[in-house]
């Protein structure tokens, strides 16, 4: 999924290192949503590094003047499936742009990318309290995990 996908007056395309400045306001708002303190240098360093080194794939939605939402995907591997597994790590749409199908367009771009990459699957996590996001994923056909339990290490 290297090209653009248009939905309404919105275009979704894969981000490049030159898109960092357009993405930073969304990254900051996403982190604040998850109760993180804004860190402009850290956010720039993190997103810029992943785009420059191609260690993540980011798609973003734009109305031609500004970025309205983004999805970031990381690669992992499954020994069981003998294939790459993609992690939909971040999905965020600016609150004023919600309800326009942007989240679904970003999810569709991520799924198309996963298929093109030959991934064995794609998964995500979201906050238990983020019911709106859960509804978006369910409407897009994602299924809740029922076979595995997640654990977090105390670091």
Q: Which pLDDT tens digit goes with each residue over 10-44? A: 999 999 999 999 999 999 999 999 999 999 999 99
Query: Average pLDDT, whole number, for the chain?
Result: 92
pLDDT for 8 equals 59
Is residue 145, in this structure, part of any structural domain at all? no
The domain containing residue 129 runs over which residues? 5-139
Sheet strand arrangement including 10-14: 5-7, 10-14, 57-62, 67-78, 83-93, 121-124
Residue 74 has pLDDT above 80, yes or no: yes
Q: Is residue 116 part of a domain?
A: yes
Percent of the chain with pLDDT over 90: 86
Query: Is residue 148 included in any domain, yes or no?
Result: no
6: pLDDT strictly greater than 60 = no
The CATH number linked to 64 is 3.40.630.30
56-82: average pLDDT: 95
Would residue 152 count as lying in a domain? Answer: no
**pTM here?**
0.89
Total domain count, the chain = 1
């Amino acid at each position: 999924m290297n090209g653009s996908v248009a939905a309404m007056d919105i275009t979704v395309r894969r981000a490049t290192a030159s898109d960092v400045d357009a993405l930073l306001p969304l990254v900051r708002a996403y982190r604040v949503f998850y109760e993180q303190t804004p860190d402009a240098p850290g956010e720039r360093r993190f997103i810029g590094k992943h785009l420059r080194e191609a260690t993540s794939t980011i798609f973003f939605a734009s109305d031609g003047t500004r970025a309205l939402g983004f999805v970031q995907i990381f690669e992992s591997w499954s020994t069981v499936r003998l294939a790459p597994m993609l992690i939909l790590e971040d999905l965020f749409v600016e609150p004023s742009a919600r309800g326009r199908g942007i989240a679904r367009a970003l999810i569709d771009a991520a799924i198309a990318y996963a298929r093109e990459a030959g991934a064995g699957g794609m998964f995500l996590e979201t906050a238990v309290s983020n019911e709106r996001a859960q509804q978006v994923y369910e409407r897009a056909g994602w299924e809740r995990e029922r076979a595995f339990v997640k654990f977090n290490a105390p670091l």
